[in-house]
Amino acid sequence: MGQAGCGGLCLSLFDYKTEKYVIAKNKKVGLLYRLLQASILAYLVVWVFLIKKGYQDVDASLQSAVITKVKGVAFTNTSDLGERLWDVADYVIPPQGENVFFVVTNLIVTPNQRQNVCAENEDIPDGACSEDSDCHPGEAVTAGNGVKTGRCLWRENSTRGTCEIFAWCPLETRSRPAEPFLKEAEDFTIFIKNYIRFPKFNFSKSNVIDAKDRASLKSCRFGPKNHYCPIFRMGSVIRWAGSDFQDIALEGGVIGINIEWNCDLDKAASECHPHYSFSRLDNKLSKSVSSGYNFRFAKYYRDAAGVEFRTLIKAYGIRFDVMVNGKAGKFSIIPTVINLGSGVALMGARAFWGYTPCQWSPGSSHSSGASACSSAAVGGFGSVPNQGMAGMSPGSRMSPRASKVSISTSAKRGQC
């Protein structure tokens, strides 16, 4: 018995199997089959290859460097500072020209501060006192401006005292101006130079066009009719981000400048262009005490006697974040073959779904009645015993792919 089983297994190695073809003489089934065929073909051609460019190898590891320059001047005349001209060295922080920079548009100036003793601000809770014992000497005032000296100072018509502190006096007491200090900042210009490289394809480019005339580059401005000029008017950038310049200049904010590179390297390098978009990154609808963007810095100097002074500046302004992203694609045989193979696999699945209505239609082995597939044939090469010839129905016919094969009606049910 074991020898017979082994012999049958060995003989089965020389068996040749052919496909089974079913011809569905039904318009609905045929229409479904062709619709599936057309849908898969349209998906493969339109979506995979034309829209998604499935024939390309993609490099999304973009390497980028950003250099920025701001230009413009503003003139102010105040009681604290007098007449003063502000240039880029005064209002741009940091001055190196990086992808993140800050432009001062409003400020509070406290001049001539020196280290001395004075009363803490009344709005600091930890600085309140009723007697000297409330002010512990050497203790820093929480969220305050200096260190307590041990004395409690009382002001006229005041219901409580404040601790004396050792600090930079006089303290900053003024509120934010009602109008932007540097109104002319709206007309300042921002020059953005962006270098990008896709390492997989060794492709490099810049957003600055190769202009032989430097004057034409300096005079251009980015706009709807000039997308390839890298010089932006600050007021226009704020407007494109959906904000009003006077509002954001008053208390500050954060603006994002996004540069996107989507390059088809199957085309000429001159067809690879940057696309710019602008957005407000901070929550402009939030009107809390912490809204806006500001920080403090100081400028130090000494008088003739060698005493150190400083001018404290609380700066409100606009922070610009230049962000770069993108990808590049180029023809490659590997993704092309992979996507073509996926399409061929889907075409094979199409045949299965097209045959399913025949299996589950009335008249099949799963039900009774008239069959949706009026005839069937087995295709391939080889011979079938003639014992099933008597069982063939008069309406059945041979498949064009069949070669001298006899079929019985039981072939429709998968029987041999």
Question: CB 102: neighbour CB atoms within 10 A?
Answer: 20
Question: Hunting for tokens 């066009």 — which residue is that?
Answer: 209
Contact 107, 316 (CB under 8 A): yes
State yes or no: 314 annotated in a binding site.
yes
For residues 49 and 89, give the distance between their C-alpha atoms in angstroms, rounded to a whole number: 52
State yes or no: 203 annotated in a binding site.
no
State yes or no: 27 annotated in a binding site.
no
Question: Hunting for tokens 């503003």 — which residue is that?
Answer: 74
SS (H, E, C) the chain: CHHHHHHHHHHHCCCCCCCCECCCCCHHHHHHHHHHHHHHHHHHHHHHHHHCCCCEEEECCCEEEEEEEEECCEEEEECCCEEEEECHHHHEECCCCCCEEEEEEEEEEEEEEEEEEEECCCCCHHHEECCHHHCCCCCECCCCCCEEEEEEECCCCCCCEEEEEEEEECCCCCCCCCCCCCHHHHHCEEEEEEEEEECCCCEEEECCCCCCCHHHHHHCCCECCECCCCEEEHHHHHHHCCCCHHHHHHHCEEEEEEEEEEEECCCCHHHCCEEEEEEECCCCCCCCCCCCCEEEEEEEEECCCCCEEEEEEEEEEEEEEEEEEEEEEEECHHHHHHHHHHHHHHHHHHHHHHHHHHHHCCCCCCCCCCCCCCCCECCECCCCCHHHHHHCCCCCCCCCCECCCCCCHHHHHCCC
β-bridge mates for residue 172, sequence order? none
State yes or no: 294 annotated in a binding site.
yes
State yes or no: 78 annotated in a binding site.
no
State yes or no: 295 annotated in a binding site.
yes
For residues 293 and 181, give the distance between their C-alpha atoms in angstroms, rounded to a whole number: 15
Return the amino acid letter for 164.
Answer: E
State yes or no: 189 annotated in a binding site.
yes
State yes or no: cis peptide before 95, omega within 30 of 0.
Answer: no
Vertex 87 angle, CA 84 and 89, to 5°: 115
Query: Helix axis angle, 27-42 relative to 333-360, nearest 10°?
Result: 160
Which residue positions form the known binding site?
69-71, 189, 294-296, 314
Which residue positions form the known binding site for ATP?
69-71, 189, 294-296, 314
